[in-house]
A = this chain, B = another copy of it.
């Protein structure tokens, strides 16, 4: 029951520590509040362990990473692991630069991650140690279609087995897998790709859902992914004539704010394989 995942989130109102990029950080904070969680952003090595200790989950996003923040990601991640807080990794742009690929791989290798969420190119880059990521967007050649879906689901399952993390590959069709089970989720709208940070926002939401549902990481992840896609649909349907990607962003966060557990349950379009 996905509804229960959101109910728990609203009831527990977890505090989520984010080490994230400066491009979409405000949207991540507002979508966490919209979800029912509270955000705190802190990236200095001198405080990240302490900050993560007072939180219930850690969201690491490597967009605009730098030499100062990379060690902070590791420090915070290790402390979160010690405290059994779920750690979410968003490997933004893995495959687009050596620094990003290597940092993401280091985080995968040195941390115990609860969820890794990215587009198919980023996750492939992580799994293979290289890749053809087109900046921060998925490479067209990689896109998950109905034809390639089976192979992509198997790939996610195997990568989950290898890493121990739930693997969330988001795109036109979303895949959320652990080593045994895969959710195929068909919510969302293509126009979401015209807003910066829908992926980052989802990763922040994943941290919130996981914090509130530590015992059900796969279902909590599926709930977060379905919630984001569903809110993308609701928001799109509310767009007025003359509105574009900026109003759409506002309407998505607003839809998350107004999403009830019942609406999530009835609006989520998924199958389990």
Residue positions of A touching B, CB distance < 8 A = 15, 21-27, 29-30, 33-34, 38-47, 50-51, 54-55, 63-68, 93, 96-100, 134-137, 194-197, 238, 242-247, 249-258
Report the bound CA distance from A22 to B30 in whole Å. Answer: 14
Chain B residue, CB-CB nearest to A193: B33
Q: Pick the contact of A24 from B26, B44, B134 — CB < 8 Å?
A: B26
Report the bound CA distance from A93 to B40 in whole Å. Answer: 9
How many copies of the shown chain assemble into the complex?
3
Q: Contacts A98-B50, A242-B238, A254-B245 given; indicate if A194 touches B64 (C-beta within 8 A).
A: no
Measured between beta carbons, the chain B residues less than 8 angstroms from A66 are 43-44, 68
Measured between beta carbons, the chain B residues less than 8 angstroms from A63 are 41
Report the bound CA distance from A44 to B21 in whole Å. Answer: 12
- Label chain A's interface by main secondary structure: mixed
Report the bound CA distance from A194 to B253 in whole Å. Answer: 12
Apart from A30-B246, A44-B99, list 4 A-B contacts with CB within 8 A.
A15-B135, A29-B196, A34-B245, A44-B64
Chain B residue, CB-CB nearest to A137: B38
Report the bound CA distance from A136 to B242 in whole Å. Answer: 31
